[in-house]
Structure 1
């Protein structure tokens, strides 16, 4: 969708314009004039006359053909008729400020659906409803009812909450932060975050993209757009609705259905979006990315006039993905030549509390020129002798000449305020404490890593789709909502997944024969399409070393299952080879997220997943790099790598199973969730020892990607 007419209109109409100050229709007209709009602005009101000196058109149907942008601020029931008139004159875009649609109930939902359909049929770009409007400072457009005109800047911001837009705009005006674009998405009937990313990613006036979202309408499209944009520009977002209370509030606020927070975390990680928890962090990062170059590596240098804050910064650095730079002997010798004998010459460099601007300048230059330093944090505490403003100007001057990012931490508030203003105006991000400064530097480093990553590789998976489809179709025909191990073995075979040698035995004699064919010791498991949790009925026996043990186990398992689950069809027992020697248990599964599709999970099996919840997530499709990372992301990764002389597991074997699970999830949208638990892995191989799949038989939205 081409949004040029939307963001750079030459003709703008305000439908519902008013001559009464305080009315939304009047504020929009006044804001357009105040922004310096150079095109034609047309107020529309049935009463006619003039508004702000502009002649009024009495009907939307009388507007010029091919109108670029209409701003609609009329009562709810008049919105759809106004849109129909705009379609008749072939209007290219519209903003519906009016509220009272899907956020209030069924009637509003139906009206909004009709609006979206009308816009789609006519090709009209539609923003809203229930939104604040839109601004483009570079084109003199303020098609909103917000108070205040933002200045020009390299930051674009979009938000699902109009009220948050108002608050952020007011805060930005107070902090003198400029914007390129400022967009209130509202209910997202047509234009959503994906369309904004697509446009802003190409916008030459936008250097940094910020967003606040409560939900994502089209998850896979969002992933595609975000992944493409973050290769060129940082995208920084707040996602609300991360708790049960937040999700409920999000639903009542905009009619959104908040998705799983794990899915959003995975989506942001895989697409390169930087996620922050609060508005302050959002704009801290925006300023950093707007004015400073990206670090070329993780090594941080620190110059401070106080030891304590330097140690705090070093501690924060060690907790991040950054490293404290090891200064070269040449740099240390240079520092030693002008610093007092009791100064700390090693990183962090403590130049002592009586440091003047000249000493700061020498120390910063020395550390910056060290080839092992990729970024620099300058800390100042307002001791009595410090010259705050002069030191700030030194930092600004050095920053303008440096190709390495420089950040400042001027601790305190009142005494350092003049210096912080100088730094902000000079493009040097300044923080009150070391920790947020470290977080900003880390985010810039991670973004630099993301930009340098190779294009993702999605490996082919060997599979027999016809064979797998037959398993699904049989289950659907019989009305089953679960496919358990007894019947899922065929699905595993169709995807060429490694499994222990397994045979179905319908009687004890068959069980003994199977055990002898497989080789002792063996495992026996109940085989029933109705019993998915075998341990609940004592349906698993392990370590069976001879025929007598197998016969006894078969009898015990089947009789117990028949007694406890009288509704279940007992087909017999699966006889299975024991786990590979030295195996560790892992779990691989997925659940279909409403917004993003299959959300894959990986973790250690047993108590680690049940008690510790040590799980990592990714969204399908997974690339080879995604599979590599998800295995190494869990806290207990070192247990797989091997401790106290243990051999590491075969990581590639695990990754191959994860990639196959990803492909299976995309191939069959009828499978709502699936679990390989446990997957047994040692240093040689991995095998899927048990499998369970849950079906969604009511025609779920498919996210399949061939």
Structure 2
């Protein structure tokens, strides 16, 4: 892999410029992160000098990066913006070719910041330095022991290693979503996280290219406000989206959003209708709401892609089935027509007051065994591409633990898309928590479950139209 971001994640030596002895300050947090988990050599720069213990080990605090005799692959600059140009120039003189600048106070704040960022750009070009930032969180990869996020773990929880990668223009968005993923299910989600901020050098095109080639990354989440290299991004996106799903939020959809973005990360917006068409044509799954982004993680990261758009619904509540049926139409899906064999089987095993056509309503008289019979029957139907399992656990004959075990057993087969929606109070929350902890695709409303299936079908159709076999 030749992408410039590769050199950051492959670093064998790392330097924190602005390391603090206060573990609540950004420079202290990052120093502690690397001292604890980074497998390579770590060097710390603090103008006061001396020594300090990080993660139980004593480190020399160098007054300047130029005082360090050994070679350094990558550095992070965590000093006030007015001192950042000097720090970057010293990195150049030290022949450090990869630098992360997390500090804010550059182009995003106005003329004074623009002048400082322009000076940084001159230094970057003079010494041929690859720069991520400024005004960002930098990089995170738990499997590599790489964490430049300057928020302490007491405030920002970190997800464990997984196959989902994120790149984001907004550090705040990235921090909040990282924190959210840490408590989503098992928490085993993150392969790579890239927060690139003002994109003075490395930008969205570099990120999509790198993650498209990264073998640990199976799906890509994105938060964008504008494009620094839109042509390359779209060209690369077309290639990457044929290999792995790329989805996320492209903000600045409205005039108000565009104005907010311009003062946020020095962003410049484009005509959203044009952007939307280009993204869709390139295979980008555009998400509008924060909640749906989490739903996409739990569905895309855990489910096989459906072969078609035929959906079977099993529920113990007629109203839930009707609402889900409406959502099926809204999401450009279809209710499957059961094969004669499956229809005959369900007619024979269920009482006449159960509705055995799609959606299957096993009513408030249902037991967990009834769910098992209905779910297994529709799962076996070759005309069903996805199964939506809707449960209102408050019905009297349903043993919730038995229902959980049945759902676990069928969902674990992974032969078809299988999503579950749990509606109600205490028992619904209990079943939801148990199943989610094991990373099953479980949701708190029929609408969310159906939308998740719709997203999967949309991506599957995109691949099929371009000759890809599922």
Class of the TM-score when normalised by the shorter of the 2 chains = over 0.9
1:132-153 alpha-carbon deviations (Å, 9 max, x no partner): 2210111011112023232112
In the alignment, structure 1 residue 409 sits paired with structure 2 residue 414: no
Map 1:443-462 to 2 at 5 A.
443-454=455-466
Distance 2:96 2:467 in 1: 40
Name 2:78's counterpart in structure 1. 73
The answer to whether the 8 A contact 2:184-2:437 is kept is no
In the alignment, structure 1 residue 303 sits paired with structure 2 residue 303: no
The TM-score, its normalising length taken from structure 2, stands at 0.93
Q: 2:135 aligns with which of 130, 133, 138?
A: 130
Name 1:44's counterpart in structure 2. 45
Map 1:263-342 to 2 at 5 A.
263-342=274-353
Aligned length: 455
Name 1:104's counterpart in structure 2. 109
Name 1:583's counterpart in structure 2. none
Distance 1:390 1:126 in 2: 54
Distance 2:192 2:152 in 1: 16
Distance 1:108 1:455 in 2: 48
Name 1:91's counterpart in structure 2. 96
Name 2:373's counterpart in structure 1. 362
Q: CA offset at residue 410 of structure 1?
A: 0.4
Q: 1:109 to 1:413 in 2, by over 3 A?
A: farther
Distance 2:69 2:423 in 1: 58
Name 2:211's counterpart in structure 1. 200
Q: CA offset at residue 388 of structure 1?
A: 2.6
Secondary structure of the residue that 1:38 maps to in structure 2? coil
Distance 1:387 1:184 in 2: 46
1:16-56 alpha-carbon deviations (Å, 9 max, x no partner): 0010232111011112234x211111111121122322222
Q: CA offset at residue 241 of structure 1?
A: 1.6
1:619-658 alpha-carbon deviations (Å, 9 max, x no partner): xxxxxxxxxxxxxxxxxxxxxxxxxxxxxxxxxxxxxxxx
Moved more, 420-429 or 321-330: 420-429
Distance 2:232 2:242 in 1: 16
1:583-636 alpha-carbon deviations (Å, 9 max, x no partner): xxxxxxxxxxxxxxxxxxxxxxxxxxxxxxxxxxxxxxxxxxxxxxxxxxxxxx
Name 1:186's counterpart in structure 2. 197
Map 1:546-585 to 2 at 5 A.
none
Secondary structure of the residue that 1:179 maps to in structure 2? strand
In the alignment, structure 1 residue 211 sits paired with structure 2 residue 213: no
Q: CA offset at residue 451 of structure 1?
A: 1.7
Q: CA offset at residue 254 of structure 1?
A: 1.5
Distance 1:438 1:391 in 2: 20
Secondary structure of the residue that 1:152 maps to in structure 2? strand
Name 2:121's counterpart in structure 1. 116
Name 1:31's counterpart in structure 2. 33
Secondary structure of the residue that 2:200 maps to in structure 1? coil
Secondary structure of the residue that 1:70 maps to in structure 2? strand
1:525-577 alpha-carbon deviations (Å, 9 max, x no partner): xxxxxxxxxxxxxxxxxxxxxxxxxxxxxxxxxxxxxxxxxxxxxxxxxxxxx
Name 1:249's counterpart in structure 2. 260
In the alignment, structure 1 residue 441 sits paired with structure 2 residue 453: yes
Name 1:484's counterpart in structure 2. none
The answer to whether the 8 A contact 1:393-1:422 is kept is no
The answer to whether the 8 A contact 1:70-1:91 is kept is yes
The TM-score, its normalising length taken from structure 1, stands at 0.62
Distance 2:197 2:5 in 1: 17
Distance 2:467 2:87 in 1: 46
Distance 1:390 1:11 in 2: 52
Q: CA offset at residue 378 of structure 1?
A: 0.2
Q: CA offset at residue 413 of structure 1?
A: 4.3
The answer to whether the 8 A contact 1:147-1:166 is kept is no
Q: CA offset at residue 245 of structure 1?
A: 1.2
What are the ranges of 5 or more consecutive residues in structure 2 without an aligned counterpart?
Answer: none
In the alignment, structure 1 residue 372 sits paired with structure 2 residue 387: no
Q: CA offset at residue 122 of structure 1?
A: 4.0
The answer to whether the 8 A contact 1:64-1:89 is kept is no
Name 2:271's counterpart in structure 1. 260
Distance 1:413 1:82 in 2: 56
Q: CA offset at residue 422 of structure 1?
A: 2.4
What are the ranges of 5 or more consecutive residues in structure 1 without an aligned counterpart?
Answer: 457-706
